[in-house]
Amino acid sequence: MNSVDRICEKFVVQNTLDHGSAKAGPVVGMIMAAHPELRKEAKSVKETVVEKINLISSLTITEIQQIAQEKYPELLKEDKPEVELGEGTDFIRAIINEDMKTNKYNGRVHTRFPPEPNGYLHIGHAKSILLNYRIAVEYNGKFNWRFDDTNPTTEDVEYVKAQIEDAKWLGVDWEDRLLYASDYFDQFYEYAVQLVEKGKAYVDDLSVDEIREYRGTITEPGKESPFRNRTIEENLDLFDRMKNGEFSDGSKVLRAKIDMASPNLLMRDPLIYRILHKKHHNTGDKWCIYPMYDWAHGLEDSIEGITHSICTMEFEIHRQLYDWFLEQLDDETGNPIFKPQQIEFARSNFTYTVLGKRNIIRLVKEGYVNGWDDPRMPTIVGILRRGITADAIRKFYKEIGVSKREAIIDQSIFDNCVREDLDERCSRVMSVLRPLKVVITNYPKDEFEEITILNHPRNKEMGTRKIKFSKILYIEQEDFMEDPPEDYFRLTLGKEVRLKYAYIIKCEKVLRDDETGEITEIHCSYDSETKGDSSVVERKIEGTIHWISAIDAIKAEVRLSDRLFIKENPMELEEGEDFTDYLNPHSLEIVNAYVEPFLQDADIGSRYQFERLGYFCIDIVDSSKDNLVFNRIITLRDSWVKR
């Protein structure tokens, strides 16, 4: 491998580790910035980069990390922070600690989370929400919830309401600071006029496609628009007329006048305003021009007095423009406007999951799932409906911390955090998902007995309950086999097994359906001297299974949700593939089960451990007293480890 090949491979690996996948443009830009001597070979460098991307993208994340470990170990090291880290302190808090020492913001810490109301929030958003909120709380500061509602074509009041409810469920409190970027539209406009008056913005008549063509590439500078040198007076007049609705959509834009040769493409005269005759959910028909995200982002932070604008790594390249806009503007006294500090951290991606907003929208719109709140979805509403607690999410993100290195988190790490949370809070109950009828032949026909059992094996404060034992019971179909393997320790013909909390039984007879040959019921005898799990018996019983009495069991629909995708990274695609090709066809199974009778009166949303089966939640949408519906939150063990 020659030196150029090695350089290209290294930067492709780095870009993949940082962002989950590599793209040719950013990689070439990184190479040119680090190795300006290669600019004359830009075309061949780009070709080599594309080859390396095709090769690296065919590997798993583990294989890519192995390449980095063997060839480029420096890529696996965290960037050293600009300030010293104290014990247990991440790089963001280290920066804030330094700011507090120097009194940079007069001892203030003020953070925010600025969602766009164009979809439902997901588990990835929760990381940023909780990080920003926790930091504000830790430093006795303030936290704003601000909707970045600058694009009326994609926004909806439905999303506004849903995101507010999601945030409240996560435990976030913004006090009286529920804000909207659209409330600042007048101020945004005045700042834009100020930029025009300083000769730093102009009205451009180029089309969107022409602007893109004029922008240039990573290796080639852009060229100036023929409208770039309009006079300040002409630009002010045209911008005012844009605001007043004289021009059609897309016919004109307002652009910043920065540098068409900048190595950062975002600095090549970025758009500030576009014409859009569209009603806004908050401002109605007042505006027909709307600010672009990069223009609005920093201004929102400045107006609100945000000290630390904490966002994910994809905005790192935007920071130069964020700072430039703020540095050009003055307040009403002629002094520079307040300038927050943007800090970037790595977002969290998960195996067997897609988090991109466009991809999630496709899953919903194309009918792959049953709405935004489908329990298989990574949306906050889906997670809530599935039965995962906000405590589990908060604990998970606190434990994994923050860094600048993006990584795909193994889903099992999150799942284990969920299990730990549920194990402590959930009462145990008996349920049989796929019932097989058991007749206890030597038990009296019309009798039953009550057995008192603990609701939680370690927490006696959760109390006890009574379950009934009777002549007819149900067990799981998989807990009986006629011809079992050697390591099968459950019920089989002629052998014994213990019924949990009850007796030892022995299978003596199997009944089948005459037409299908399927087993319909089994006949067993019980040993009346073996009651209770701790009873002393002379013979060794290796297996214990759960059961439920037919005398009072009630029916319930149980939805067995599983991972939505069968591929570790569904976005790791070959040419011609789509992430939906890797949807798990068995991600949802619905069974008609039997559960304990007291659950009929349990609260909607209540969570339980079905013994030996997993954790389940009474569905908050479809369940009722007369039609119980449970969602499986998670299995007791990670069954995907063996796959």
b/e string for 597-616 if b means 16 or more Cβ within 10 A? eebeebeeebbbbbbebbbb
Catalytic site residue from 116, 165, 224, 521: 116
Domain boundaries, the chain: 3-76, 108-345, 352-427+557-642, 431-546
CA 134, 282, 358, 349: dihedral to nearest 10 degrees?
0
For the chain, how far is it from start to end, CA to CA, in angstroms? 36
Greater model confidence, 84 or 253: 253
What is the pLDDT, as a whole number, of residue 642?
Answer: 42
Q: Which fold has domain 431-546?
A: Ribosomal Protein L25; Chain P (2.40.240)
* DSSP state for residue 445 in the 8-state scheme: T
pLDDT tens for residues 581-599? 999 999 999 999 999 999 9
Query: pLDDT band for position 148 (50/70/90)?
Result: very high
> Are the beta carbons of 485 and 478 closer than 8 angstroms?
no
What is the pLDDT, as a whole number, of residue 591?
Answer: 97
pLDDT tens for residues 295-351? 999 999 999 999 999 999 999 999 999 999 999 999 999 999 999 999 999 998 999
Catalytic site residue from 257, 347, 498, 563: 347
Q: Above 70 in pLDDT, residue 562?
A: yes
pLDDT tens for residues 531-555? 986 555 667 888 999 999 999 999 9
**What is the average per-residue pLDDT within 121-132?**
96
**What is the average per-residue pLDDT within 358-382?**
96
Query: pLDDT band for position 84 (50/70/90)?
Result: very low
Q: CA 239: distance to chain centroid?
A: 40
Measure the CA–CA gap between 355 and 378, rounded to whole angstroms. 7
Query: pLDDT band for position 1 (50/70/90)?
Result: low
> Are the beta carbons of 509 and 516 closer than 8 angstroms?
no
The number of residues making up the chain comes to 643
Rounded (5°) CA angle 119-122-124? 125
> Are the beta carbons of 599 and 630 closer than 8 angstroms?
no
Measure the CA–CA gap between 615 and 141, rounded to whole angstroms. 38
What is the pLDDT, as a whole number, of residue 471?
Answer: 96
pLDDT tens for residues 179-210? 999 999 999 999 999 999 999 999 999 999 99
The answer to whether the 108-345 and 431-546 domains have the same CATH topology is no
**What is the average per-residue pLDDT within 449-460?**
95
> Are the beta carbons of 236 and 192 closer than 8 angstroms?
no
CA 390, 393, 394, 400: dihedral to nearest 10 degrees?
180
Residue 404 designated active-site: no
Range list of H helices, 478-628: none
What is the pLDDT, as a whole number, of residue 316?
Answer: 92
**What is the average per-residue pLDDT within 68-91?**
63
Q: Which CATH code is given to the segment(s) 352-427+557-642?
A: 2.40.240.10
3-state secondary structure of 80: coil
Q: Above 80 in pLDDT, residue 26?
A: no
pTM across the whole model: 0.84
**What is the average per-residue pLDDT within 152-158?**
93
Q: Above 50 in pLDDT, residue 643?
A: no
* DSSP state for residue 196 in the 8-state scheme: H
Measure the CA–CA gap between 634 and 632, rounded to whole angstroms. 6
Q: What percent of the chain has pLDDT over 90?
A: 76
Q: Above 60 in pLDDT, residue 82?
A: no
Name the average pLDDT for the chain. Answer: 91
3-state secondary structure of 336: strand
Largest Cα span, the chain: 101
Measure the CA–CA gap between 498 and 440, rounded to whole angstroms. 13
* DSSP state for residue 379 in the 8-state scheme: B
Rounded (5°) CA angle 123-128-133? 120
Question: How many distinct helices (H) and strands (E) make up the chain?
Answer: 16, 27
What is the pLDDT, as a whole number, of residue 79?
Answer: 45
Residue 234 designated active-site: no
Residue 347 designated active-site: yes
Give the homologous superfamily in CATH for domain 108-345.
HUPs (3.40.50.620)
CA-CA-CA-CA torsion sign (39, 43, 46, 47) = negative
Q: CA 112: distance to chain centroid?
A: 19
